[in-house]
Structure 1
């Protein structure tokens, strides 16, 4: 462990290789959507005739075919993304079972926060195999496909990836020339246009440009809107030859009024009753503690148009060089990326019981009466979370991969190295929102629109910013002083190797190892009046490995067993996600001792499964059973010190299907059942108040989390998207999506007392509040008709039943609500 002031970023050689997994898109072939088929052909209906190409994995680290890869991998193709009308990565991932989403919380910025197999995978997102750590909301206009690798996979991607990782494969030049595009118009003022142009300028030069413009409100929600545009040009020299150079750039700019959702109804202090109490979002007919009943509709929005906003930009520049030496390829890739984000984000806060209320009547005397404190509920505090900042990354990867034989044993290998530098800097805006007032809601805070009605909020309230919660001086919102900003710097050096060994045609051994040296430094923000800063730094060495054995009873079926590890070092997310194991923000002797004692969180996965490729390898089926164990999680120990003894265990089964059942029926989806359990959540500190000469004493009790379902994780999820083609021109699509109950957090009311003699007693809990969102079903539909071989008209209807449901559960305060029923028509063309 070292402590140093962060230095300027080093310059280093930009040679690298895009690793991880890169895939080719699937096409339905001449009898699919791009080719003729006989209308209502009874002979064809009586048999399965499919001549398309099945989804497959290619790329440096994909040393085996998907059927011969001993782990659960889902490939989400462009066709499904388009058919479901997905306009963002989060929308596309809803079609994959076993993925839930977490909310912006606990310092976690706004952005995609997928949970895979119960583990936060926000920091395990990759674009063409290169880590993309910045918190952001990703688009899909330049996406060829999305690959979800499930199970511990730090061997593939490096640090993190406890539950799996997500790799986005982008659109790059290919042989041939085409022009594709679409224009969509729908309810809630939905407008979207996309363009994808690929031109082969000469025999060896290709260029491709993908572009998008998007503008919409949100169905069933007041005030919310989103606008963005993006472009992704790329150029390849040497197309189709042994030596290729690809230059690519990606730009995305977005502006929106962000939506946080609906407050939870209860806090621990005001939840009525005893035992386990579910605190769900306060929606529908709500009765406060004072007996006042009102209605909270789905459209209810507690934010402020005059204050809330979110602006973000993404810039990525990529250079790839590759050369084929017969059966071996050398690939180098360098990428520079920068993501900027700024927002004031409403968090509809219930932390002081202002939603349900804490008393049946309001005070009329004393200071509380003079302030006009509102204790009877029916109000939401418009807490304003603020953030501005940027994330930069320079990543270089080099891979050498191919095949060779040692006697009768065949090897498909990949070896590589990576070096990267990352920097994340963030600050806050200076804005008053009532955070210094307690209780939150009184006559003054209501008059300033810091608090608003639970039942009838007005997003058009004439809110203005004051110098403080008690000042009457109006002032603009400004960024905090530079010294108040926090900066994280990190560097990574890695080497790795993979080998898929065909011992005999029916038996394959898959091996992989990786070593990472990860150094991170944090320079915490200081008070605006401070004159100096300090830095805390740490270096961790990470070794991970994976092994799997595949037995093939037939050429199109396989049985497998595998083991894999993952390692999440301290400060892995660089402040771009919820960090359970940060480096700290102070330089006291106690804090520095903790910095010295930090440990890497270790995860290991065991998995067995079966795969089959049916109907001329057109339909892929996968069944897997697994267990993932996490050790060294950072928790409070029994002596009130930080210890690394926290444990989590996720057990489950998964079934996935992807491909063509017949030339007229394509399906995608699956079912996941998880048993996500917090085995050891450590301890919680209670305080026995002072009595007589006895000072207050801390008391340690087991965490309320121990033994409970892991948060942000559904036990059961099911997805199905089907596309039926009764004729060569008509297509009928439909989707069904189910997610079981998800918990955001737990809290109980245990307390401690002591006697004048110093005897401490722990008072058992009489109630436990579980903040949760209920299960839901959602149904979508699509109708498409090919006017000609070049033009298709389609109509999508999402959330057909207009179901009111929630997609994210915050640890406390609020839950994110999904849009209502929406519809849009799309005209697509290709030449």
Structure 2
């Protein structure tokens, strides 16, 4: 490659070339069309899975284990379609989920770095899925290979097994299709944003095809370390391949593989001062949201490989057996810098604590679902049954620098990373590192069997009943209680009334559980498992000949024995609350108001309250535990207070309008009310000041985005402006209350797209 020809240069060249290529391709097509002869066309009945989404309105989902129209699912479902994410110029899953009301982002700490969200006020760290299979590893996910993202709200253990209370986030991969389609894009923006993507689909035979998606993206933020000029960075590449054979036949096979590589400079945000984001002067220097405490020597490196085989045998159009087999390999290491509330950042990172981790997580997952429809005793049945096996193996440890001259670890503490770099002139990310302490190892086998029947017992009235049994056997090496043998039943039931195709009214009950040890969290003293239950009453309407969908849901979710998500520092306090509850109301509107006007909007009101504060049993001696086995109750004043990182109100709106001659304009707003950060396990909490509850608080915000595009059949140019009003806002909070992370300031991105 010529000197000076880097990724950014390639992206610029691609953007400049695409319009010219498009014009030439159009001329070539006109010539080809003039001589092309008609070929035989076979028309088949269109299945739900083949039906295209209506812009921002989803018409298909498999989040209920079988293909359905979301209108028919008796539970709240939010779907982010590919068209929505395309128009918003979305790159990461975190950015995509801004569109989901009732969802907030957790800042990373203590080994829980990576995608980490709250939904309806409850954690989702065990509830992220890829094509309905568990994807709970700690990494940062991208959207380049996603067809859509489905969010099933509420407890969902009957469908998905162990998990939390807020809902399930299911990523849907792009699959090989029976037609030729190729799309390439190149994007440039401020904060050194540059991205190139490609989506290439080739029909090989009448029933076979291959699809390849690629992505290369780099981005920085406005935050800077004043001592060295370094910024947080996102540097990510990915490739995904899908091969399909027998597509549309009785025996359909897909082989998919996805590789994602991240090389980020992590950002742990800013500290709180007087319960608000820091905005003060230290030794004559201003410290606020712009101040970054890390450097380019910090890193967050991960390599993710996911291989999936899918076999579907269709006995009839209504009866099929679908089996998926997956191997996942997730490798990650990071060294991040915490901010300070009293000291200035330095060039050698000697201020603030280090958060380090190296971890390996591997999974083998087998899942088989049998679905059928039949009539019995004058009633129509839709039956789902299945089995699942999941093997997990995890290894994690802390890091320390190694002297490359001796091969021995440095003995300095605190700023050892900086001494290593200063003394030897090498970057820590070059590989001069060692593990320290005793690694935490986790190995588990999970087994499940489930059955669900949806029975239309009289016209337009359907009753739903489902049962699942999960068994989990696990071994650990870091606890006195070194093994787990656990079993749990899960239930799902509901009643639906659908007087016609445009109306659906339902009431649903479901529950979830998480065993006393899940995602490496086994304590030295056995504790009851997490349990949650959700009661939801909802309605779904279709207007304008089905082009506009409106849904509402009112719900209550109660969770017992809520666990800590901070796997590195839960110590003697794995239980966060003994009981807590979220009551809420959601409204969403998606689809086409007119042929040219698309809308995606929603609002959620959440009342998340601690009912009973935590009760913990000391597993080791510490400053709060004089003896092992000592019982510590959290500050009783927590009872009745609002739960952490749960805004009372969230709102989002995104809308676009197609003008004539290819012009398209759009924009929207994402808004959240304030959120709390505090430690609910404290026996005497500093969050109470003079008897009043005053925890650290992330202020509410409203981020405005805009878009204008010129689109032609073969090519398009689009301008996206994110945070149009250039506001300072904090989109993620570390829920223990130590710090919070600002979102980026105003950013303009120009994208050129070419289809062939």
TM range (shorter): 0.7 to 0.9
Q: 2-side partners of 1:25 and 1:355: how far apart?
A: 58
TM-score (norm 2): 0.82
Q: Do the aligned residues in 1 keep the contact of 2:573 with 2:616 (CA within 8 Å)?
A: no
Which runs of no fewer than 5 residues in structure 2 stay unpaired?
A: 1-47, 225-229, 403-411, 424-429, 565-571, 624-629
State the match for 1:491 in structure 2: 445
Alpha carbons of structure 1 residues 642 and 138: separation in structure 2 relative to 1, 3 Å: closer
For 2:703, which of 762, 778, 782 is the aligned residue?
778
1:282 aligns with 2:278: yes
Shift of residue 305 of structure 1?
2.8
Alpha carbons of structure 1 residues 765 and 381: separation in structure 2 relative to 1, 3 Å: farther
For 1:398, which of 346, 368, 371 is the aligned residue?
368
Q: 2-side partners of 1:189 and 1:700: how far apart?
A: 50
State the match for 1:254 in structure 2: 262
Shift of residue 680 of structure 1?
0.9
1:408 aligns with 2:372: no
Write the mapping of 1:360-399 to structure 2, written as runs, cut at 5 A: 381-399=351-369
State the match for 2:205 in structure 1: 202
1:548 aligns with 2:538: no
Alpha carbons of structure 1 residues 392 and 24: separation in structure 2 relative to 1, 3 Å: farther
1:621 aligns with 2:550: yes
1:669 aligns with 2:601: yes
For 1:567, which of 513, 516, 526 is the aligned residue?
513
Q: 1-side partners of 2:132 and 2:752: how far apart?
A: 33
Shift of residue 234 of structure 1?
1.2
Q: What do the CA deviations read for 1:542-588 (whole angstroms, capped 9, x no partner)?
A: 111111111123321111111101011122223xxxxxxx322xxxx
Q: 1-side partners of 2:103 and 2:68: how far apart?
A: 25
Q: 1-side partners of 2:529 and 2:462: how far apart?
A: 32
Write the mapping of 1:90-489 to structure 2, written as runs, cut at 5 A: 90-105=94-109, 107-221=110-224, 223-266=231-274, 279-283=275-279, 286=280, 294-306=285-297, 308-326=298-316, 327-350=318-341, 354=342, 381-430=351-400, 463-465=418-420, 478-481=433-436, 484-489=438-443
State the match for 2:652 in structure 1: 719
State the match for 2:728 in structure 1: 804
Q: 2-side partners of 1:641 and 1:191: how far apart?
A: 43
Q: 2-side partners of 1:647 and 1:167: how far apart?
A: 27
Q: What do the CA deviations read for 1:296-320 (whole angstroms, capped 9, x no partner)?
A: 34331111333x1111010011111
Query: Relative contact order: is structure 1 or structure 2 higher (C-alpha 8 Å, sep ≥ 6)?
Result: 1
Q: 2-side partners of 1:323 and 1:748: how far apart?
A: 51
State the match for 2:578 in structure 1: 646
Q: 2-side partners of 1:258 and 1:213: how far apart?
A: 18
Q: 2-side partners of 1:124 and 1:23: how far apart?
A: 24
Q: 1-side partners of 2:355 and 2:733: how far apart?
A: 17
Q: 2-side partners of 1:620 and 1:820: how far apart?
A: 33
1:82 aligns with 2:14: no
Alpha carbons of structure 1 residues 523 and 309: separation in structure 2 relative to 1, 3 Å: same
Shift of residue 355 of structure 1?
5.6
Q: 2-side partners of 1:790 and 1:699: how far apart?
A: 66
**DSSP 3-state at the match of 2:94:** helix
Q: 2-side partners of 1:92 and 1:318: how far apart?
A: 24
1:678 aligns with 2:613: no
Shift of residue 672 of structure 1?
0.3
1:537 aligns with 2:533: no
Q: 2-side partners of 1:685 and 1:170: how far apart?
A: 43
Alpha carbons of structure 1 residues 541 and 349: separation in structure 2 relative to 1, 3 Å: farther
1:708 aligns with 2:641: yes
State the match for 1:49 in structure 2: none
Task: Tell which deviates more after alignment, 500-509 or 671-680.
Answer: 500-509
Alpha carbons of structure 1 residues 624 and 223: separation in structure 2 relative to 1, 3 Å: same
State the match for 2:427 in structure 1: none
**DSSP 3-state at the match of 1:109:** coil
Q: Do the aligned residues in 2 keep the contact of 1:465 with 1:476 (CA within 8 Å)?
A: no
Alpha carbons of structure 1 residues 403 and 805: separation in structure 2 relative to 1, 3 Å: same
Shift of residue 293 of structure 1?
6.2
**DSSP 3-state at the match of 1:382:** coil
Instruction: Give the total of aligned pairs.
Output: 666
Alpha carbons of structure 1 residues 64 and 828: separation in structure 2 relative to 1, 3 Å: closer
Q: Do the aligned residues in 1 keep the contact of 2:614 with 2:633 (CA within 8 Å)?
A: no
Q: Do the aligned residues in 2 keep the contact of 1:63 with 1:412 (CA within 8 Å)?
A: no
When Rg is computed on C-alpha atoms for both structures, the one with the higher figure is 1
Q: What do the CA deviations read for 1:133-178 (whole angstroms, capped 9, x no partner)?
A: 1001000000000000000111111001311010000001112111
Shift of residue 728 of structure 1?
4.8
Q: 1-side partners of 2:195 and 2:295: how far apart?
A: 26
Q: 2-side partners of 1:795 and 1:751: how far apart?
A: 52
TM-score (norm 1): 0.75
Alpha carbons of structure 1 residues 247 and 466: separation in structure 2 relative to 1, 3 Å: closer
State the match for 2:713 in structure 1: 789
Alpha carbons of structure 1 residues 406 and 731: separation in structure 2 relative to 1, 3 Å: same
Q: Do the aligned residues in 1 keep the contact of 2:252 with 2:311 (CA within 8 Å)?
A: yes
Shift of residue 61 of structure 1?
2.1
Q: 1-side partners of 2:632 and 2:125: how far apart?
A: 35
State the match for 2:739 in structure 1: 814
Q: 1-side partners of 2:209 and 2:512: how far apart?
A: 39
Q: Do the aligned residues in 2 keep the contact of 1:24 with 1:57 (CA within 8 Å)?
A: no
Q: 1-side partners of 2:212 and 2:381: how far apart?
A: 37
Q: 2-side partners of 1:476 and 1:231: how far apart?
A: 24
Q: 2-side partners of 1:355 and 1:234: how far apart?
A: 51
Q: 2-side partners of 1:621 and 1:163: how far apart?
A: 21
Shift of residue 411 of structure 1?
1.3
Shift of residue 114 of structure 1?
1.1
Q: Do the aligned residues in 2 keep the contact of 1:748 with 1:768 (CA within 8 Å)?
A: no
For 2:476, which of 506, 522, 529 is the aligned residue?
522
Q: 2-side partners of 1:55 and 1:601: how far apart?
A: 34
1:604 aligns with 2:533: yes
State the match for 1:508 in structure 2: 462
Q: 1-side partners of 2:364 and 2:720: how far apart?
A: 40
Shift of residue 109 of structure 1?
2.6
Task: Tell which deviates more after alignment, 314-323 or 642-651.
Answer: 642-651
Shift of residue 294 of structure 1?
4.7
Which runs of no fewer than 5 residues in structure 1 stay unpaired?
A: 1-21, 33-51, 267-278, 357-378, 433-444, 452-461, 469-474, 526-533, 575-581, 585-590, 690-696, 753-762
Q: 2-side partners of 1:153 and 1:572: how far apart?
A: 17
Q: 1-side partners of 2:363 and 2:386: how far apart?
A: 19
**DSSP 3-state at the match of 2:71:** helix
